């Protein structure tokens, strides 16, 4: 009854999000999965429960924003990166500590992952490096919150020019593949990579095989629904 209506609401919100450009959060994601999203390949239905979990994470972020403002340390929240062709994104905050500017990226994770966390997750490092690059700020803070126990861990990150350059090359190459309808290779450790375990495009990826292939030919062969 009411549960069905709430689930439907979350799913409709999610389905409205057609991808037209890269997001900072695509850094570290499987290129093939990002390609599928751009091509509007119908994905396995997202569990509305997961969407509610993401939303709860956003509420935790807002609590931290509130505290930062009350600390009066000089903070701007939800700051969009300067407009350019390739990527868009919004950093959680830029703040000033001891006369130095930092980009802040907040991540909420479950207790088990939090306990194991001894260093920033790779994909989170990629994302904050892109923020540092576009804001021209040399230092960032990755703040992890245990959403079950409310513990906090922080990691200070220094700008890494070489890493950012590799990330931007990766995005540029993927953009070209999207424009030329070339389906990228699967992850080198597909199907055991953790991303494959959660991938909404697993079925179509299995059908395509591991290698790079022409997308339109494949699509016709397997008779996928036309792109929206
Ligand atoms: S199944 Fe794995 S390799 Fe294939 S698209 Fe998904 S994440 Fe990428």
- 85-144 pLDDT, tens digit each: 899 999 999 999 999 999 999 999 999 999 999 999 999 999 999 999 999 999 999 999
CA pair distance 28, 23, nearest whole angstrom: 11
Report the relative pairing of strands 87-88 and 22-23 from DSSP bridges: parallel
Best probe residue, ligand 1, of 188, 196, 200, 209 (max atoms within 8 Å of C-beta): 196
73 inside domain: yes
**pLDDT tens-digit readout, 157-211:** 999 999 999 999 999 999 999 999 999 999 999 999 999 998 999 999 999 999 9
Which structure tokens are listed for 18? Answer: 């057609």
For residue 128, tell me if it sits in a domain.
yes
Q: Is residue 34 part of a domain?
A: no
Residue 62 has pLDDT above 90, yes or no: no
* Count of the separate structural domains present in the chain: 1
Distance 6 CA to ligand 1 centre (A): 29
Ligand 1 center–CA 208 separation, angstroms: 10
Look up the domain containing 121 and give its range.
46-180
pTM above 0.85, yes or no: yes
Q: What is the CATH number of the domain that holds 88?
A: 3.90.320.10
Q: Does residue 100 lie within any of the structural domains?
A: yes
Establish if 130 belongs to a structural domain.
yes
Distance CA(217)–CA(213), nearest Å, equals 8
Residue 26 lies in a domain: no
CB of 187 closer than 6 angstroms to any ligand 1 atom? yes
Mutational pocket test of ligand 1: of 32, 42, 203, the residue with most ligand atoms within 8 Å of the beta carbon:
32
Would you say 145 and 107 are in contact if contact means Cβ atoms under 8 Å apart? yes
**Cα separation of 73 and 67, whole Å?**
10
Ligand 1 pocket, 32 CB below 6 A? yes
Residue 27 lies in a domain: no
Considering the domain boundaries, does residue 92 fall inside one? yes
């Amino acid at each position: 009854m009411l549960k069905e209506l709430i689930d439907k609401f979350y799913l409709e919100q999610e389905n409205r999000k057609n991808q037209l450009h890269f997001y900072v959060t695509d850094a570290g994601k499987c290129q093939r999965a990002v390609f599928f999203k751009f091509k509007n390949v119908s994905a396995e239905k997202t569990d509305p429960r997961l969407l509610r979990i993401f939303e709860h994470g956003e509420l935790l972020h807002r609590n931290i924003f509130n505290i930062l403002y009350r600390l009066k340390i000089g903070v701007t929240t939800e700051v969009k990166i300067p407009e350019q062709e390739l990527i868009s994104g919004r950093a959680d905050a830029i703040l000033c500590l001891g006369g130095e500017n930092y980009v802040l990226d907040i991540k909420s994770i479950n207790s088990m992952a939090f306990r194991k966390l001894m260093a920033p997750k790779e994909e989170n490092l990629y994302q904050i490096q892109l923020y540092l690059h576009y804001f021209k700020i040399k230092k960032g803070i990755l703040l992890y919150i245990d959403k079950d126990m409310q513990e906090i861990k922080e990691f200070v990150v220094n700008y890494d020019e070489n890493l950012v350059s590799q990330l931007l090359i990766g995005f540029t190459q993927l953009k070209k593949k999207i424009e030329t309808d070339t389906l990228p290779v699967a992850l080198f450790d597909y199907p055991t990579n953790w991303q494959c375990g959660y991938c909404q495009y697993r079925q179509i990826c299995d059908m395509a095989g591991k290698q790079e292939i022409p997308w339109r030919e494949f699509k016709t062969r397997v008779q996928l629904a036309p792109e929206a």
